[in-house]
Amino acid sequence: MTLRITILNGPNLNLLGTREPHIYGHTTLAEIEAMCVKRAGELGLDLTFRQSNHEGVLVDWIQKARETADALIINPAAYSFRSVALIDAMKALGKPIIELHVSNIHARDELHRHSITSTAATAVICGLGPYGYVAALDAAVHLAGGGR
């Protein structure tokens, strides 16, 4: 059985590569997606990769993942620090969830240090830069029971 992994990206991540490169680096979201597609191919995964600046759209995609994914990887970005709607959708998913952050949020300023969405995640990866997405794919396979 082919594992289905959904990766969701929150607000402003479409600006990766140009937005605050001293924090997020110079790799674009398109380059990250290409890395993920490559790794998913190596692992034999069915991958969905999306980004939205809109909270409700992310909630809709999380809800859709109840039927279309075996695990979810989410970089909630700014919504990590304020979105009860994302938390509720994540809690209703009933599947492994990896919360992902490009930067080490624990080493950041007070506003960016405390992710509330982590309370609904199975695991959290942060501070690995773009490689964190590849690590999250490997971890998602393990958590979804397809360990290789």
9 is in an annotated binding site: no
102 is in an annotated binding site: yes
Strand 71-75 with 4-9, pairing: parallel
Q: Is 24 a catalytic residue?
A: yes
Catalytic one among 101, 112, 133, 142?
101
75 is in an annotated binding site: yes
One-letter amino acid identity for 147?
G
With beta carbons less than 8 A apart as the criterion, state whether 95 and 69 touch.
Answer: yes
H or E element that contains 49: strand 46-51
Q: How many CB atoms lie within 10 A of CB 136?
A: 27
Q: Is 101 a catalytic residue?
A: yes
Q: How many CB atoms lie within 10 A of CB 143?
A: 18
Catalytic one among 24, 79, 131, 133?
24
**What residues act catalytically?**
24, 101
Mark the binding-site residues, compressed into ranges.
75, 88, 102-103
Mark the binding-site residues for substrate, compressed into ranges.
75, 88, 102-103
